[in-house]
Amino acid sequence: MCLAIPARIEELTTPGNAIVNLGGVRKEISLALVEDAAVGEYVIVHVGYALQKLDQEEAERTLALFAELGQLDELREELGGSAV
């Protein structure tokens, strides 16, 4: 199954890349597909690429649903293997 998850941008690194945070897991991703992303914004991430920006309310609602379904810990574990 393919899954894109909301993550908050914490730091802009090299041009076109950023460090995002998902529940304490930090990971470097590409921003090549998203224009004008800034620190503090949420993006939807799939296989290391931000696909689009997402407003904070929608991101938090989606993360809460993942947590309610018991999937957030599993996602954190999957990301943890390649955390920055």
Q: Is the pLDDT of residue 7 over 70?
A: yes
Q: What is the pLDDT of residue 65?
A: 84
Give residue-wise pLDDT tens across range 14-42.
Answer: 999 999 997 778 999 999 999 999 999 99
CATH of the domain at 43: 2.30.30.140
Number of structural domains found in the chain: 1
User: H-type helices in 1-84, by residue range?
Assistant: 56-68, 72-80
Q: What is the pTM of this model?
A: 0.79
By residue range, what is the domain housing residue 65?
5-80
> pLDDT band for position 59 (50/70/90)?
very high
Q: What letter does residue 39 receive in the DSSP assignment?
A: T
Question: Measuring CA to CA, which residue among 29, 33, 35, 34 is closest to residue 12?
Answer: 29
Q: What is the pLDDT of residue 34?
A: 96
